[in-house]
Chains A and B, each alone.
Chain A
């Protein structure tokens, strides 16, 4: 029986040896009753329901509401839940705040730890050997390649999420955004700025 149509693989994509292996393992797990097709499907849907837009909403709220910002930094899970983002689970979350003195950058050198319960799946480059090895050793060069150069005097802090904590960056609010709505602000927050390789978009110039 093949009731499972593998929606997590794009149509027309040739399966790599790894994909075939995963599929074989998956079939075995189902056959042996360790997992059900429904559980696998639920997990895929859970992951697909997360996205960087969640992070953008948290950041925009923190920019407009200092009390929320405080809560986000103190207890990320609880603050996320206030916006209906359920990040519950065994993994802890820590939000690190960019300031005029320090710019933060997130990496996982050992694998691809990422705040998935909030942001969903990481971009492919985040999982690459190149990013993982260079982000710790030459973070400033990596950021330059993403188009960001921290101003003179700003320290760079790299966070290697090796264990049970997942990190997300709270970037600084761009200049010239006074009076923008929370929704407009959220649109400036890019996924890359939540990882720290760059900063949020500048607002479109007012006419």
Chain B
């Protein structure tokens, strides 16, 4: 992980994993299992899932801004196609799609 080259690039299709991890995680439920597109690599940050329990959050993990089509997230979404939602997701919650 740490120091490795980023596995995702802007434009890549990614699926958000449902790791079923309890406790303090930063991946909202409503995007788990959904497919989006990497908009931007945001850099590497200490892992909040470790920091929350007194750990040092190391090694740092990559964070990506992922764009989703609102109509794919919510059944019966009221807005037009093109409405989007951006969520920042840590690397270990993503896989190529």
Contact = CB atoms under 8 A, between A and B. Distances in A.
Interface string A157-178: 1111111110000000000000
A155 B83 contact: yes
A109 B28 contact: yes
Interface stretch (A30-38, A76-84, A134-142): A134-142
Contact of B86 (A92, A110, A138, A159): A159
Interface string A60-71: 000000000000
Nearest to A136: B85
Interface of A: 92, 109-110, 136-141, 155-165
A157 B28 contact: no
Contacts of A164: 42, 45, 48, 63, 88
Interface string B15-37: 00000000000111010000000
Given A92-B42, A160-B85, A165-B42, 5 more contacts: A92-B43, A109-B28, A158-B85, A163-B26, A165-B65
A163 B90 CA distance: 8
**Interface-centre pick from B43, B79, B89 (highest chain A CB count, 10 A):** B79
Contacts, number: 69
Interface of B: 26-28, 30, 42-43, 45, 48, 63, 65, 70, 73-74, 77-80, 82-90
30 contacts: A92-B42, A109-B28, A109-B30, A137-B30, A137-B74, A138-B77, A138-B78, A139-B79, A139-B83, A140-B79, A140-B83, A141-B78, A155-B83, A155-B84, A156-B83, A156-B84, A158-B70, A158-B83, A158-B85, A160-B85, A160-B86, A160-B88, A161-B88, A162-B26, A162-B87, A163-B45, A163-B48, A163-B90, A164-B48, A164-B88
Contacts of A138: 77-78
